[in-house]
Chains A and B, each alone.
Chain A
């Protein structure tokens, strides 16, 4: 991966001045490359990674969907429809026992259960659903969420 992308992937809040110092390039070059990456759709946005467990922000579930692919469109058609729902956080086509991995967010377990039975299951090409609720998030997008694990291990090691 490009060095600039790699840095931004971990930390999108660095200023273009800081990035230019780190990469030994001019600030103008950095600004241009970032807008190029945005225009090409390589950079899709800048978000904040929130540890939602600390603010009781609802429940997450992984729904395994088995579907019948449509002629000509394959899985794209059903994926297009599933991702329309605002409850759906992400949709991935999978190799293996099932076809689509759908991550859904809701206020309560009931909300998610209702969403699956009322919205997802009835869709034309859906053969079956299996719902798995997330109990605990340990690591998300490459970041360990437990604050105590983020302390400098070097300092802990030298304590007597």
Chain B
């Protein structure tokens, strides 16, 4: 008799990721995938060159735990320039292994067993598992298509309790493409101001907001003190594989995050940090170029979907469209599996992003127009054949 491997008891509460199957099938050359959630651009060459230079100069050693001071200074400049937020480079910024580590280190250090964490759902698929691994209790606040998948004050109020420790916010949003504007965030801030709750604001898609400049909840009155702004280089500069992100927060929070990060990680990859400095200093043109390109694709996709009778919530951020497929009478999984089988097009079932994603599928438009067009032609055939 083989003994079951003894593992962390929280691990069993985490399901296997549904998305993996669809990404694997999507990698098959016969399949046209609109599944991948990462930029299709290569990292701009001047950024790669900065890393190459650091390598050739042999700058391959550990950096300070919080990251190169030069990089933290550039992050502070960027936060000031783009979000009107002031952070002291030496005490209020921690450079991490992608935004992913920023989320993990924040959850590990701020949570105690039994603490409740509000996860705005449907959500990025890593939030819930990490909260659970920390012994936290996930409390979902489900956003609705008719609200444009935005978090509303009333929905949040219903789920707040005296055990609520954190709120995880992600706007512009994966998987819905929703953004939240200043007025809407001020509403949310108004009920958090006097509560001892911190906000983990994952703003990884901040540069991919197509109709207005990104606004951070940390900019709302009374929120700077209780918000951890998380961002990174992956989506903004097409640097997913570099694994580089950061978190900005009040000093007392960065102190505790850095304490754990130092033991667990030592520091983010040095070469990536040098690339990051170049990205923040000289990467604005590349951002504009990529944003314009995504925006054209976004309009193209939304127009086509509307024409073929698949309503969308007109997403204004990130590079996703969350499509309502309830009229097909199928579940998200059946819809995606049948579409794969009949038309060899890969989308991601909405329930991969939480229960409230059921009835939707996620389409990523981080692909060339030609590729998107081929996939949408096939999707349209599929929809017509259903009728």
Contacts and interface: CB of A to CB of B under 8 A. Distances in A.
Interface in B294-321: 296-297, 299-300, 302-304
B299 A22 contact: yes
A21 B299 contact: yes
Contacts of B297: 22
B36 interface: yes
Contact of A22 (B26, B42, B300): B300
Contacts of A21: 299-300, 302-304
Contact of A159 (B27, B33, B36): B27
Interface in B31-60: 33, 36, 38, 40, 42
A18 interface: yes
Contacts of B29: 151
Contacts of B370: 11
Interface string B343-379: 0000000000000000000000001011001000000
Given A11-B370, A154-B36, A154-B38, A18 B26 contact: no
Nearest to A22: B296
B240 to A, nearest CB: 9
Contacts of A22: 296-297, 299-300, 369
Interface residues of A, number: 20
Nearest to B29: A151
28 contacts: A7-B296, A7-B369, A11-B369, A11-B370, A14-B369, A14-B373, A17-B303, A18-B300, A18-B303, A18-B373, A21-B302, A21-B303, A22-B296, A22-B299, A22-B300, A23-B296, A152-B36, A152-B40, A153-B42, A154-B36, A154-B40, A155-B26, A155-B27, A155-B33, A155-B36, A156-B27, A158-B23, A158-B27
Interface in A1-50: 3, 7, 10-11, 14, 17-18, 21-24
A158 B373 CA distance: 24
A152 B30 CA distance: 12
Interface of B: 23, 26-27, 29, 33, 36, 38, 40, 42, 241, 292, 296-297, 299-300, 302-304, 367, 369-370, 373
Contacts of B40: 152, 154
Given A7-B296, A21-B303, 7 more contacts: A11-B370, A22-B296, A23-B296, A154-B38, A155-B27, A155-B33, A158-B23
Contacts of B36: 152, 154-155
Contacts of B303: 17-18, 21
Interface of A: 3, 7, 10-11, 14, 17-18, 21-24, 151-159
A24 B27 contact: no
A156 B302 CA distance: 28
Closest 10 CB pairs of A and B: A21-B303, A155-B27, A22-B296, A22-B300, A21-B299, A22-B299, A154-B36, A21-B300, A24-B299, A11-B370
Contacts of B300: 18, 21-22
Nearest to A160: B24
Contacts of A18: 300, 303-304, 373
A21 B304 CA distance: 9
Nearest to B31: A155
Contacts of B292: 3
Nearest to A154: B36
Contacts of A23: 296, 299
Most buried by A among B36, B241, B296: B296
A85 B373 CA distance: 39
A155 B346 CA distance: 13
A26 to B, nearest CB: 13
A158 B35 CA distance: 13
Nearest to B42: A153
Contacts of A155: 26-27, 33, 36
Contacts of A152: 27, 33, 36, 40, 367
A49 B42 CA distance: 24
A113 B369 CA distance: 42
B22 to A, nearest CB: 12
A14 to B, nearest CB: 7
Contacts of A17: 303
Contacts of B373: 14, 18
A9 to B, nearest CB: 12
A20 to B, nearest CB: 8
Nearest to A14: B369
B195 to A, nearest CB: 41
Contacts of B241: 157
Contacts of B369: 7, 10-11, 14, 22
